Structure 1
Amino acid sequence: MMASLSQMNVFKGLGSVMSSVMGSVKIPGWLSLSSAPSTTFDRSYLILVIAMYMIGLVMVASSSMPVAERLFDNPFHFVIRHMIYIVLSIGIAVATLQLPMSWWQKSSGGLLLLAMVLLLIVLLIGRSVNGATRWIVLGPITIQAAEPAKLFFFCYLSAYLVRRRDEVMENFKGFLKPLVVFFFLALMLLAQPDLGTIIVMFVTTFGLLFLAGAKLWQFIGIASVGVTALSLLAIFEPYRWRRITSFLDPWQDPFGSGYQLTQSLMAYGRGEVFGQGLGNSIQKLEYLPEAHTDFVMAVLAEEFGFIGISVVLLLSFILVIKALMLGRQALAQEKFFEGYFAYAIGIWMSFQAAVNVGASAGIVPTKGLTMPLISYGGSSMIIMTIAVVVLIRIDHEIRLQSIQATSGGRK
């Protein structure tokens, strides 16, 4: 009873705390909702991100309290940290908004080098959790190096396609060069191991190369080799093979290799259409492992049902569609780097969200990927926020260019 009262109190306090946080952050003048002309900025990006922040905060609070009580003797441990991550994300977003897209293009090589350095540091001094070495610990700060590596690699790939666009479209050498870079990144990620991130980067890379005009036979040939290599990685690694076989029939070993998925499926089943109500999940009571991180969508499904899942998927779908449409608009105005970068972010977000929800629903094997802007995890939230900020900046520069062209034409 006392735990339920505590949960109710923290849920009531989340809204007021976030309101004060948002009120204390200063944003650029061109981003101000009250003063900026409506033609210079698409405010729907802000609405989408804030809505997903709030949903994620409430669900992390609901799903993490039992495990936080046991591990830290404080049911609000993960809630407080998640709120700190949101504040950090907002602060970093404000700083990133000041960077023009020309800076991203010029710095793409340096960002790629930074990504490689971070991945190398993880292998040398990274912290291991559950057999995986993926985190760099800097005092109270924990960095998952794979998250910035994705964003920085997509930035590099977008800049490469601008420099070598004709070469990519006309011969195999131009198509192969970015894949060599991806191969070295994949080797370092595989050593952690982090197959999920490799798959996300693989799909996004090939999707972007295809949109950039690579020949179909090149695309099919290399994609076939990549799929074969990923399949062999799963077959010859016992734990990966167990994940695949347990995904195909989790009820064959419900208390062993299929335990996590069966518990997740029970959560989905209990949710039905309208859910059991906020705070009424049973699976989060330490039946479902990683309930507040990789499987937060299962708890959301149990508490808010099909309606709750549909709302989150709709928000993600709108964000992805806006990114892809922005990419097309940028290419139409011959802003090729911005267009490719927006395409990459859209493909990345859509595939990662699909894998996260699909894994918790038993549609695809478990990959350990977070739900963008929803799941607990500071590195993922900050990097996803930066990705959205890049979209905002691209949109702003396109609108500003249009306004300047119109003004010049009138003069």
Structure 2
Amino acid sequence: MKMPNLSWQNETQLFYPWLAMLLLGWLMVASASTGIAEFYTGNPAHFAIRHAFYLLLGIGVTFSISLIPMARWAKLDAILLVIGFVGLVLVFVPGIGHEVNGSQRWLNLGIIKIQASEIAKLSAVFYISGYLVRRQDEVQSQWSGFIKPLGLLAVMVALLLMEPDFGAVVVLMGAAMVQLFLGGVKAGQFFLLLFATLIVSSFVVTAETYRMERLLAYLDPWAPEHVYGTGYQLTQSLIAFGRGEWFGIGLGESIQKLFYLPEAHTDFVFAIWAEETGLFGGAIALLGLALVIGLIWRVAWAAQKRGQMYSAYIAIGIASLLGLQVVINLGVNTGLLPTKGLTLPFFSYGGSSLMMCCAMIGIVMRIDYESRQNLENSDNSGGDHE
């Protein structure tokens, strides 16, 4: 196996923006977690130290993953899908599955707890990518090619809903639909899938009382029956944004993180950042995220132009996973979407989410490296021929 140049900054434009997001995320967590850390551990820097450890571990994961050739991944996509399914089943096994806030979403591996949906989403991206390459003609010309992968995804969605984890379902299905659409699925089939997904989603939302309460609170969070109930997180988040104004009240000076806003260092870390740094700081963070995701799309486009379709589909899936998670998290923070527990990639506290985000970046870096190598080999072949 030919080893890539270990100087990442010479290989990809993604390196510095990704590193900047990791450091900015650490700063967000360090500031947003001081109150809760001191209350539970007596050390205001407890979560900042743990997140720094996760950050270093994530960099190691990125480096290690970037060494694996895409040809090796292509042989493992079926195994990865099985691992994704096994993880979703194991969360219901006593002693292995771990419940948090009423949801059975975590695998307790001793030194770290991993959210099973994180593995499942990435395994689905690999499976869909391999399927689109192997069955390209069938996907583009026959209904069977379109329906087969959806059957497997439906089982995965059912397991996620049993946890329950509706947010992961939305992200997974959204990424899969983007991959299928760009993989050549007929427009009629795609819009039929989109319509069916909306119908099923409406049924899922209305089938559970707590989801309906969240939806009603989203529509009017300031109503007396919601403001201290299901709308509490949203109203406190909006207060944080309002306090931040243009330039914020100062880094570390947030009031909302002092037990007013639950999950201040995880799902709502951006609201605390906006309170402390204002619209200006929030815009910088958003531009950084947009740059990282935009560069991933650029890698996908370059791989597609050079005929590396498997790699291109994976990069598309990863960009879609990260992009949808950013949109949903920020939508929840700002009140544009109903409250849903999803972390903000690279920014929210949590080893599981950060490890998977870094793994995705490592895969994209490998795709970019192989794409560049393919271009160099083509140029050298052309020069020799002349």
Q: What is the aligned partner in structure 2 of residue 194 from structure 1?
A: 165
Q: What is the aligned partner in structure 2 of residue 261 from structure 1?
A: 234
Q: Please state whether the residue corresponding to 2:107 is helix, strand or coil.
A: strand
1:315 partner amino acid? G
Q: What is the aligned partner in structure 1 of residue 307 from structure 2?
A: 334
Instruction: Please say if 1:31 is aligned against 2:6.
Output: yes
Q: What is the aligned partner in structure 1 of residue 215 from structure 2?
A: 244
Contact 2:4 2:67 in 1 (8 A): no
Distance, in Å, in 1 between the alignment partners of 2:241 and 2:235 is 10
Distance, in Å, in 2 between the alignment partners of 1:189 and 1:360 is 23
Q: Which residue of 258, 269, 275 corresponds with 1:296?
A: 269
TM-score (norm 1): 0.90
The structure-2 alpha-carbon separation of the partners of 1:29 and 1:225, relative to structure 1 and needing over 3 Å to count, comes to: closer
Distance, in Å, in 2 between the alignment partners of 1:201 and 1:225 is 15
Q: Please state whether the residue corresponding to 1:31 is helix, strand or coil.
A: coil
Contact 1:204 1:347 in 2 (8 A): yes
Distance, in Å, in 2 between the alignment partners of 1:68 and 1:202 is 35
CA apart distance, 1:118: 0.9
Q: What is the aligned partner in structure 2 of residue 230 from structure 1?
A: 201
Q: Deviations over 1:56-89 (max 9, x none)?
A: 1111111111111112222222112111111111
Contact 1:123 1:191 in 2 (8 A): no
Distance, in Å, in 2 between the alignment partners of 1:321 and 1:172 is 32
Distance, in Å, in 2 between the alignment partners of 1:348 and 1:140 is 26
Q: Which ranges in structure 2 are unaligned for 5 or more consecutive residues?
A: none
Distance, in Å, in 2 between the alignment partners of 1:29 and 1:122 is 37
Q: Please state whether the residue corresponding to 2:196 is helix, strand or coil.
A: helix
1:116 partner amino acid? F
Computed over aligned residues only, the root mean square deviation of the Cα atoms, in angstroms, reads: 1.3
Q: What is the aligned partner in structure 1 of residue 129 from structure 2?
A: 158
Q: Please state whether the residue corresponding to 1:123 is helix, strand or coil.
A: coil
Q: What is the aligned partner in structure 2 of residue 77 from structure 1?
A: 46
Instruction: Please say if 1:104 is aligned against 2:73.
Output: yes
Distance, in Å, in 2 between the alignment partners of 1:360 and 1:135 is 23
Distance, in Å, in 1 between the alignment partners of 2:203 and 2:378 is 54
Residues 3-402 of structure 1: pairs in structure 2 closer than 5 A? 30-32=5-7, 38=10, 41-42=11-12, 44-125=13-94, 126-252=97-223, 253-402=226-375
Q: Which ranges in structure 1 are unaligned for 5 or more consecutive residues?
A: 1-27
CA apart distance, 1:255: 1.0
Q: Deviations over 1:341-369 (max 9, x none)?
A: 11111111111101111100000112211
Aligned length, in residue pairs? 378
1:32 partner amino acid? S
Q: Please state whether the residue corresponding to 1:124 is helix, strand or coil.
A: coil
CA apart distance, 1:197: 0.1
Distance, in Å, in 2 between the alignment partners of 1:273 and 1:286 is 24
Distance, in Å, in 1 between the alignment partners of 2:380 and 2:371 is 14
Q: Please state whether the residue corresponding to 1:135 is helix, strand or coil.
A: strand
Distance, in Å, in 1 between the alignment partners of 2:64 and 2:21 is 21
CA apart distance, 1:102: 0.7
